[in-house]
Amino acid sequence: MSAFAAADAVAVIPARGGSKGVPGKNVAAVGGVPLVARAVAAALQAGIADVRVSTDDAGIAAAARAAGARVIDRPAELAGDTATSEAALLHALDVLEAEGGLPEVLVFLQATSPFIEPAPLARAVRRVLDDEADSVLSAFETYAFLWRSTADGAVGVNHDAAFRPRRQDREPHFQETGAFYVLRTSGFREAGFRFFGRTAVEPVAAARAVEIDDAHELELARVLAPVLDAAPAAVDVDVLVTDFDGVHTDDAAIVREDGTESVHVSRADGLGVERLRTAGVPVLILSKERNGVVGARAAKLRVDVLQAVDDKAAALAAWLAERGLDPARCAYVGNDVNDLGAMALVGWPIAVADAHPAVRRAARAVLRNRGGHGAVREAAELVLAAHGGKEA
């Protein structure tokens, strides 16, 4: 994918902190990643080198910087409920001009669209740079029959209600997604609005055109993320933490007459943990249960273990702090709802394939393997891939 220098294109993501419909919306996690960070990642993956987030909120600013963006401090008068995106964009251009120059193209992305595809975004930028259009919007093809309700009844908007041609005999319409707009900077500054000059449509996939305005749409995005997000080729972290029951095991136990328990584990998982140790990556088992099998397995794997932990997030935070490890550089593999607190703390929350639906929705990656059937080995391989796939 082509790279765009700052003189060619700069992406600006307006993200104020005062959302009313979904408080804290722009840093709400979808697929384990804050919405604003997902937008930054899409722009960077599209080859846009200079990505800015215009915000009045410290939490949004921190998430933006962590994702690789630069922050533009948004004045309070441009961050209220009635402030327009155009006002924030024009202010961002003033900041860019004061820094030394304006880009030929302004790329306007919205963090509330969590599934922006880099390839169509890059194509849209190229179309403006190549003078095919002055403004380009993302939209998906639709053959829907639209209606308008009037005092006299419903009226067809894009069709004659008395004639219902087949889909293949109709022209498609395009529904705006709100995900991105690519604008020639000079034209936008003159018009003050996102549509001007020669406006073109950049088609995107309808399945990815989710726009989050309320809590129900946020929940829908979380359900879709494990399906729409590409499986990671690597997980770049410094430490791997796992639950025990349902991750190292299949969440079942054999209880003998004397009350002792035995569980099923995978030898492949053990080899994966051994390779992590050899590569110098610490591993911690964090378990709510206090059971001899947990300690025995940790001893066998030669890794740290914390048992009988009711508040996993607090225990994990303390363990990381004691070792000077950054939670953002930590992966946590879980399977059930008592893992959600710890998953929210780390940069890479991961779910096993058979995890509780709430855990899958909170995960940044969902493994192919089930607990006790190679899930830990799979997670280990992803971490090792980020370390070059080689032991130290």
Rounded to 5 degrees, φ, ψ at 341 are -60, -45
Summary mean pLDDT of the chain: 94
pLDDT at 391 over 60: no
Residue-wise pLDDT tens digits, 95-111: 999 999 899 999 999 99
Q: What is the model's pLDDT at position 98?
A: 96
Query: Poorest-confidence range of 43-57, 126-140, 286-300, 373-387?
Result: 286-300
Q: Which CATH number fits domain 9-228: 3.90.550.10, 3.40.190.10, 1.10.420.10, 3.20.20.70?
A: 3.90.550.10
Domain edges within the chain: 9-228, 239-386
pLDDT at 235 over 60: yes
* Topology, domain 239-386: Rossmann fold (3.40.50)
pLDDT band at residue 264, thresholds of 50, 70 and 90? confident
Q: Give the integer Cα–Cα distance in Å for 237 and 283.
A: 11
Q: Please state the rounded mean pLDDT for residues 216-240.
A: 94
Query: For strand 239-242 and strand 330-334, is the pairing parallel, antiparallel, or unpaired?
Result: parallel
Give the three-state DSSP class for 52: strand
Q: What is the model's pLDDT at position 161?
A: 85
Residue-wise pLDDT tens digits, 64-75: 999 999 999 999
pLDDT at 258 over 80: no
Q: Please state the rounded mean pLDDT for residues 367-382.
A: 97
Q: Give the integer Cα–Cα distance in Å for 213 and 231.
A: 26
Q: Please state the rounded mean pLDDT for residues 172-188.
A: 97
Q: What is the model's pLDDT at position 2?
A: 64
Alpha helices, DSSP H only, in the chain? Answer: 35-45, 58-67, 85-99, 118-129, 185-191, 215-228, 267-278, 292-301, 312-322, 340-345, 357-362, 375-386
